[in-house]
Structure 1
Amino acid sequence: MNKYIRKPYIPLYSEMPKPKDKDIFIFGSKETKKNDSDTAQLAMSRYIGNCGITPEQAAAILGIGRTTLYNYLADTRELTYSMLCVICIGLKLHPDRQRHLFHLCHIERPDREYSTDPRDLIIIEYLEECAFDNAYSLEACNKALKDGKQKMLHPYCLGTEDRK
């Protein structure tokens, strides 16, 4: 078995077919929205599948171990604010999908209007733009946080020479 997982390219929102229905784009189906039966784990699995990648490839993109991602997907490990930001930026999730995922995890998504923390302001910029511009990648976000002397989202999302 190959030890290395090739990191696939996740298309930007503008490069994907336009969704016909906003509810299906976010919730997966109208019934899920009506029954309020969506969970963070189902939503993450669905969003990973919509990117056309496997969980192993998603873990490689996010810079986390595949077991860690599987634990998040199985709900045996609780998602933190930083890890949720890593997932949203790394998978280039549309802001509507991000809001839904934050809501399901009961974590407040940072808002430019109310936030004064320099770290949150950098994260907000990357969350808002990651689905529309390749320059707003997970590595770039961590580099901007590091350059701003803020705590990085996840240290393994940088290249090895940038971690020091």
Structure 2
Amino acid sequence: MDIILFLIFFAATCGAAATGMLFPTGEWYKSLNKPDWVPPDWVFPVAWTSIYLLISFAGARVAGLEGSAYAMAFWGMQIAFNALWTPVFFGLRALRKSLPVMACLWVAVLGCTITHFQLDLWAGLAFVPYLIWVTVAAALNLSVARLNPDQEPLEISSI
């Protein structure tokens, strides 16, 4: 694995992670109705840090391989939707509007998992926890949207 490639992929994940710092959960999120199975708050940074390290590793393993075009396209797609989801859900507080973003993220992570497995076993395995986590996150997103049907998104002009 090329360490420079790893650092480039890790920088991309840090960019996506920055949206979490720009749009923290805050009191608004705490006040929402959530399902009983929502993970404790401490799980989220642990999960995301682990996932970002794993997918940086996976990207670096396959980026230089012949035939990696689809894997890299899916990698770029997943990090873009990853970065977009937080501002839509937490920034705009658009619970229902964040669902299509989450669906696109899930498809992109599935595409990454499949295409990385086709190129390198370890890279494919590195995406499995992410696919599981995004599946849980999608279910949580849907549950929170259903449990808070009257939650209106913020008006962009009020931000």
Give the TM-score, by structure 2 length. Answer: 0.31
Structure with higher Rg: it is 2
Flag the structure with higher helix content. Answer: 2
